[in-house]
């Protein structure tokens, strides 16, 4: 069972890696022209880009942390799951908040890896 949980955690990490790439590269390429089309000042566009790219970097770091934890667990090491639990809880709450704010089910992209991370981290020790 521990092996299956570690594999679930690695799948979640892979989703985070893919999300980071899509967010940073594809997402910004799609968003930037729409922001500029409404006449947003250049400094506002730059500020939004900086925050947007930080979001992608954070996703990548979350994926790296999760991958490291679950690779260590697959190798038999006793590694605390606390960092992954925190990522899962925050990711899940963010997804729920975003869906409740927009009504857009797209934001389930945050809930899916959150659930996988939390399941993979059980028991949370």
pLDDT digits (tens, 9 = 90+) for 41-91: 999 999 999 999 999 999 999 999 999 999 999 999 999 999 999 999 999
Which residue range is the domain that position 93 belongs to?
2-120
Residue 97 located in a structural domain: yes
Residue 27 located in a structural domain: yes
Residue 62 located in a structural domain: yes
Residue 70 located in a structural domain: yes
Residue 63 located in a structural domain: yes
Number of structural domains (the chain) is 1
* % helix, strand, coil for the chain, step of 5: 85, 0, 15
Residue 125 located in a structural domain: no
82: CB partners within 8 A, 6+ apart: 124
The whole-model pTM stands at 0.89
């Amino acid at each position: 069972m521990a092996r299956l949980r570690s594999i679930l955690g690695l799948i979640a990490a892979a989703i985070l890696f893919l999300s980071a790439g899509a967010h940073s590269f594809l997402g910004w390429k799609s968003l930037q022209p729409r922001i500029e089309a409404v006449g947003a000042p250049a400094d506002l566009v730059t500020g939004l880009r900086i925050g947007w790219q930080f979001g992608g970097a954070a996703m990548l770091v979350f994926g790296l942390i999760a991958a490291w934890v679950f690779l260590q667990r697959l190798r038999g090491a006793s590694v605390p799951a606390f960092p992954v639990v925190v990522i899962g809880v925050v990711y899940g709450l963010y997804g729920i908040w975003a869906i409740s704010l927009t009504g857009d089910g797209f934001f389930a992209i945050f809930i899916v890896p959150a659930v996988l991370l939390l399941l993979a981290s059980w028991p949370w020790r």
